[in-house]
């Protein structure tokens, strides 16, 4: 069995983000970069399947600059078998990323593609769905549990929906996106870190894939959220109702 997992390099959630001088992006000075947390969950799930199904190969894919090697090496240290870095100096939009992933899927022919449900930097939450549509594959999004069928030709996925949980059955190959409660990712062990240095990390210029990555959108301006104002005390319920009605406009 072969599983392809996407890995995105994102700012650490604890990093203080500052908008750049031109107002269209963030400053990257002194920013710590990590694997997108949802992608880390996707890696962990692929590794758990590998531990259950002998002969399974886990391949990591990232798209970006050479600096993304660091996050791929982390995933290899966790236990993935090899990695592919599609080199692109420009930040690609979700549709372009989906087209790149589709191209790699056609080459690698995995049985399962696992992505984080969204990236914490842009929260787009659409690449997995786009990949499934471009491939014409079944999809199960927001997965909180994945169970392979006895023949490893199908899967039963429990997914989180507004009303609770929904369980769907899908044939493989398929696309699954990982939700927060799917698992708890492992830490890379010291032996894993040492082995990761020798594992294959292939680099492919995005231009070599023959994929249209022309941007369709342009960021005009980024703004930080306004600072929250301090609270105040009111003298009575009647005064509170008046404030909610006249100032907050919520009743």
The per-residue pLDDT for 139 is 97
Task: Select from 54, 77, 111, 55 the least CA-distant residue to 7.
Answer: 77
pLDDT tens for residues 122-140?
889 999 999 999 999 999 9
Structural domains of the chain in order of their starting residue, each with its CATH number = 2-217 (3.40.50.620)
pTM of the model: 0.87
Residue with tokens 């203080």: 16
Confidence of residue 191 (pLDDT cuts 50, 70, 90): very high
Mean pLDDT for all residues in the chain? 93
- Let me know if 91 is exposed, middle or buried by CB neighbors in 10 A (0-12, 13-18, 19+): middle
Give pLDDT tens digits for 162-186.
888 999 999 999 999 999 999 999 9
Confidence check: pLDDT of 45 > 90: yes
Whether the per-residue pLDDT at 248 is higher than 80: the answer is no
Per-residue model confidence (pLDDT) at position 26: 83
pLDDT at 218 over 90: no
Q: What is the pLDDT of residue 39?
A: 97
Residue 250: pLDDT above 80? no
What DSSP designation does 165 have?
E
């Amino acid at each position: 069995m072969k599983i392809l997992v996407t890995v995105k390099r994102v700012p650490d959630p604890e990093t203080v983000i500052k908008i750049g001088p031109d107002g269209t992006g963030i400053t990257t000075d002194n920013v710590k970069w990590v694997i997108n947390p949802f992608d880390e969950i996707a890696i962990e799930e692929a590794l758990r399947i590998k531990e259950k199904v002998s002969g399974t190969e886990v391949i990591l894919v990232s798209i970006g600059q050479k600096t993304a090697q660091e996050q791929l090496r982390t995933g290899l240290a966790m236990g993935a078998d090899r990695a592919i870095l599609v080199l692109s100096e420009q930040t690609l939009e979700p549709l372009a990323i989906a087209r790149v992933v589709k191209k790699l899927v056609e080459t690698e022919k995995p049985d399962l593609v696992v992505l984080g449900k969204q990236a914490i930097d842009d929260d787009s939450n659409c690449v997995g769905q786009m990949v499934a549509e471009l491939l014409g594959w079944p999809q199960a999004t927001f997965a909180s549990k994945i169970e392979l069928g006895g023949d490893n030709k199908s899967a039963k996925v429990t997914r989180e929906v507004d009303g609770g949980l929904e369980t769907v059955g899908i044939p493989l190959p398929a696309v699954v996106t990982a939700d927060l409660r799917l698992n708890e990712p492992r830490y890379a062990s010291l032996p894993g870190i040492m082995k990761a240095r020798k594992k294959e990390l292939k680099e492919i210029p995005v231009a070599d894939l023959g994929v249209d990555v022309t941007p369709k959108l342009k960021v005009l301006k980024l703004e930080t959220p306004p600072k929250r104002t301090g609270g105040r005390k009111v003298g009575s319920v009647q005064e509170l109702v008046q404030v909610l009605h006249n100032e907050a406009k919520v009743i």
